[in-house]
Structure 1
Amino acid sequence: MKKFVPNFITLLNLSCGIVALRYAMDQAFDMALFWFFLGIVFDFLDGFAARWLGVSSALGVELDSLADMVTSGLVPGQVMYALISYSTASYGDEVHFYLPFAGYLVTLASAYRLARFNIDTRQHESFIGLPTPANALFILSVGYMVQQAEYIKVLPLWAALLITGVSCYLLNSNWPLFALKFKNFSLKENAIKYIFLLLSAILLLCFRVNAFALIILAYILLSIGSNLFKNKVKDETN
């Protein structure tokens, strides 16, 4: 019975992704963000439960990727479709109909990223490329901000297409990004993680839900800065 517990939690992640997708199709980005975030919580808990119960399995790995494909792949693709659709409303019927499908490039890039992750042996301690949940959180947060903002009703088309292109690139780039995994609580060994957590807490206190996009940007920039610092130290010691 306990073997099914992690898989059941993964299915809860998938269920949340389906609900988030439905809300995203209705452009209710606030509710889509809520259900996405709940799905990500279950995405964390399924792996934790599998390790705690000692029932990790190949089936669980594949099921997890399939759930992530919906929650962190299809949902942000739908949000980008909507954002580009808003941006092309004044560009004529053909552009307004066809160009928004470019948003689903995020879904395709996420699928490729998830497939690579399953066979990449380098990503146990850190990530290579932006994780799909982080990318999805950024896109859904942008959708939420556009929906809630009084000073902007649509993203400029160039901005919507830029977010799409950069997302696709970062998902499958070879940039190392740190993972929030702690082998110990040493300040020296985990400095970048503590800085990120502290910065995230400050941003959440200041901007609340609107902080999520800034947190993902901070995560990317801190990872880049950390890698540059490590490479500089390595070059100086050689």
Structure 2
Amino acid sequence: MFSLPNILTASNLICGILAILFSMMGRIDMAPVFITAALLFDFLDGFLARKMGISGELGKQLDSLADMVTFGVVPGVLCFILLIINGGVEITSLPESTISSPYLYDSFGMSVHTIISFYFADLTGNPIASAPFHFSGTTLYLPFIALLIPFFSLFRLAKFNLDTRQSDRFLGLPTPANTLFFMAIPLFLWDAWGETGWKVIIAELLIKPTVLISFIVLFSLLLVSEIPLIALKFKHFSWKGNEFRYVLILVSIVLFVLLSFRAIPIILFLYLILSITDNFFEKKRKHEIQG
């Protein structure tokens, strides 16, 4: 039971729990650190299980349970908090607001923590009299849309365990890829802290309800879609047959070197575009062979 691969899977779970705890305390900038560590553990557990010849049903179930937390609940919590932050920004911009700015303290984490505290105080009917944020109506209930992510992730992970078609391609968006996309948004906010200009414009745009909720709905549906997507599983390493995999890897490296974490959303959309293009050519090749 307590083999090295299973311990690494459990480490993936622990990283997910830590990401949730730090996020709820306002340190959404730390969540990507734990998510990155979880991705590493998620890769290593399967890799070592295959190398050690101990792959089995227990490891498969443990992997799904850990992934549900790290790549299902965590992005949902992050988006929940991002919508709370946007609500705080909207409220403090009102003329009657008792607070002039959502950035209440010197540190990014403390400011986010304060906004979260005010939100849950209003949600539970226990407002803070000294500095009421007065979350109500849309700003109070809109964050719950973020729970679509763990909802659809649950079905995605269960489907993956039972679907034998996903050997060399994924059907639907993998939960780690979905998490990577939403993990980038807190980094945009953190990077814009104390700045002016384009960084702030992009950060505030990404947490606008119309934008963020559109992403939440789109990627939630992609999780359970039947769209074939590239899996980085090489049956061989020759160029022919792996063209789109190599293009994805090389372009992703270049983009990440040039743009750092800002490249993550671009890479994900590139992944979707290359997958759709690859599917088109694959169908065309099969049609030519059959013809």
What TM-score does the superposition give when structure 1 sets the normalisation length?
0.94
What is the alpha-carbon distance in structure 2 between the residues aligned to residue 98 and residue 219 of structure 1?
33
Aligned match of 1:100:
143
Classify the secondary structure of the residue corresponding to 2:200.
coil
CA deviation map 1:206-237 (0-9, x unaligned): 10122122211111111011112222343455
CA deviation map 1:103-134 (0-9, x unaligned): 01101111110011110111111100000000
Classify the secondary structure of the residue corresponding to 1:6.
helix
Aligned match of 1:8:
7
Classify the secondary structure of the residue corresponding to 2:55.
coil
Aligned match of 1:194:
246
Instruction: Indicate the larger mover: 124-133 or 210-219.
Output: 210-219
What is the alpha-carbon distance in structure 1 between the residues aligned to residue 25 and residue 187 of structure 2?
13
CA deviation map 1:8-59 (0-9, x unaligned): 1101111111111112223423210011010010001000111111111111
Residues 15-164 of structure 1 correspond to what in structure 2 (within 5 A)? 15-89=14-88, 90=90, 93-149=136-192, 150-152=199-201, 153-154=203-204, 155-164=207-216
What is the alpha-carbon distance in structure 2 between the residues aligned to residue 234 and residue 54 of structure 1?
35
Query: Identity percentage over the alignment?
Result: 41
Residues 155-174 of structure 1 correspond to what in structure 2 (within 5 A)? 155-174=207-226
What is the alpha-carbon distance in structure 1 between the residues aligned to residue 28 and residue 274 of structure 2?
28
Classify the secondary structure of the residue corresponding to 1:177.
strand
Q: Does the 8 Å contact 1:112/1:172 carry over to 2?
A: yes
Q: 1:213 aligns with which of 261, 265, 277?
A: 265
Q: Does the 8 Å contact 1:33/1:140 carry over to 2?
A: yes
- Runs of at least 5 residues in structure 2 that lack an aligned partner in the other structure: 92-134, 193-198
What is the alpha-carbon distance in structure 2 between the residues aligned to residue 156 and residue 102 of structure 1?
13
Count of matched residue pairs: 237
CA deviation map 1:87-117 (0-9, x unaligned): 3343761211211011011011111100111
What TM-score does the superposition give when structure 2 sets the normalisation length?
0.77
Amino acid at match of 1:161: I
What root-mean-square deviation, in Å, do the aligned CA atoms of Structure 1 and Structure 2 show?
A: 1.6
What is the alpha-carbon distance in structure 1 between the residues aligned to residue 52 and residue 286 of structure 2?
40
How far residue 166 of structure 1 moved from its aligned partner, in angstroms, is 0.5
Amino acid at match of 1:193: R
How far residue 146 of structure 1 moved from its aligned partner, in angstroms, is 2.8
Classify the secondary structure of the residue corresponding to 1:151.
helix
Aligned match of 2:130:
none
Larger Rg: 2
Amino acid at match of 1:83: L
Q: 1:181 aligns with which of 225, 230, 233?
A: 233
What is the alpha-carbon distance in structure 1 between the residues aligned to residue 180 and residue 28 of structure 2?
11
What is the alpha-carbon distance in structure 1 between the residues aligned to residue 253 and residue 48 of structure 2?
26
What is the alpha-carbon distance in structure 2 between the residues aligned to residue 223 and residue 180 of structure 1?
11
What is the alpha-carbon distance in structure 2 between the residues aligned to residue 195 and residue 232 of structure 1?
20
CA deviation map 1:158-195 (0-9, x unaligned): 00110110011110000000110111111112111110
Q: Does the 8 Å contact 1:27/1:79 carry over to 2?
A: no
Amino acid at match of 1:151: V
Classify the secondary structure of the residue corresponding to 1:182.
coil
